[in-house]
């Protein structure tokens, strides 16, 4: 069996609402966005900062549903600023086709549409 890495989930152009260097680590994301993208608590995610080009890997933790929070924590907080646009992506290893879940967000981190 040959496994390939495939993008399974993406939250596109979310706005960073907070940065907390004193938190242990991770990215905190509104549970509604995580659910819409199919990203689970603790899952490895890539974060691509559209505003400054920084790229990092961390894990997702849920924020209160409806909070619209996107907060970079720990060392990752040094790689962004409040107001930056980020893409949050998750991948999986598979030998089967994957239906990617893409969530497009508005400027306030509300769900604009899904693809």
Q: Distance between CA atoms of 28 and 115, rounded to whole angstroms?
A: 23
Is 67 catalytic? The answer is no
Of the listed 23, 51, 59, 67, which one is catalytic? Answer: 59
Contacting residues for 45 by C-beta, under 8 A, at least 6 apart: 27, 39, 57, 58, 59, 60, 88, 89, 90
Is 59 catalytic? The answer is yes
Would you please indicate which residues are annotated as catalytic (active-site) residues? 26, 59
């Amino acid at each position: 069996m040959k496994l390939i890495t495939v993008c399974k989930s993406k939250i596109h152009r979310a706005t960073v609402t907070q940065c907390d260097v004193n938190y242990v680590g991770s990215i905190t994301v509104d549970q509604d966005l995580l659910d819409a993208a199919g990203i689970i608590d603790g899952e490895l995610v890539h974060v691509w900062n559209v505003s400054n080009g920084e790229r990092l890997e961390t894990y997702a933790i849920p924020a209160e549903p409806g909070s619209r929070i996107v907060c970079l924590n720990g060392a990752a907080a040094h790689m962004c600023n409040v107001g930056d646009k980020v893409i949050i992506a998750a991948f999986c290893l598979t030998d089967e086709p994957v239906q990617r879940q893409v969530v497009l967000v508005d400027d306030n981190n509300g769900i604009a549409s899904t693809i």
